[in-house]
Amino acid sequence: MNGQSDSSKNIDRSGIYNFFYWGPILFQIKLHSQDLKKCAKLCSKKADSANEILAGVIKHEHYVNPLEYQHILDPYLISFRHAYNQWYGKPLTKKIVTMQAWVNFMVAGEFNPPHIHNDCDFSSVLFVKIPKNLEEEQKKFTGRGGGPGSLSFTYGETQLHSLGNRSFSPRVGDLFIFPANLTHFVFPFTSKGERISISANFRLD
């Protein structure tokens, strides 16, 4: 995918045609199990509370050491740079620095309302642990939207023939990186147990 040219050469009976990708990059990659275990060790309810800076209706939100977290993510940020280059048609030459990181221990009934992150360039979400019955709860969901415990993104206005919303069911080890001003939110769920995720903000130096 390239932001400055067609995504690929496509041919049908009427000839060659192009279609173009545009809008914000939304990057996803899965962490190796050993790296995910390292991230899990950074999550503690004994760490300082991060509630005062966050939008979530979540009781336990605690800071994570940003330097230790970035050390684990550095190999995956290389892949993000490659995706950035493919999406925007230009390399990301600046250094990616983790400004803040925190863990959300989300339980039944809690949620994150639609919000953006300020004073940074990119944000991220990593799924560390998912309640045992959440996947089954999602299968039973028959309403519209992302469903219980899903991470959702919205961009621009809802229009005919336009894709402005994406939702993802949480999967352990999935890391999402996206522009900090991209609106995102998390639906509540009813399953017992904790939905543990690490979020981080990055700046470009």
Task: Judge whether residue 12 has pLDDT over 80.
Answer: no
Interval 83-100 mean pLDDT:
96
C-alpha 21, offset from chain centre: 19
Interval 155-180 mean pLDDT:
93
pLDDT band at 96 (very low <50, low <70, confident <90, very high): very high
Task: Judge whether residue 5 has pLDDT over 60.
Answer: no
Interval 98-110 mean pLDDT:
98
Interval 22-35 mean pLDDT:
96
> Among 41-45, 48-52, 163-167, 189-193, which is the least confidently predicted range?
163-167
Task: Judge whether residue 119 has pLDDT over 50.
Answer: yes
pLDDT value at position 6?
44
Give the pTM.
Answer: 0.91
Q: Which domains, and CATH codes, for the chain?
A: 25-204 (2.60.120.620)
CA distances from 25 to 94, 132, 149, 155, 170 (A): 17, 31, 22, 11, 19
pLDDT value at position 9?
58
Burial 133-156 (b: 16+ CB within 10 A, else e): ebeebbeebeeeebbbbbbbbebe
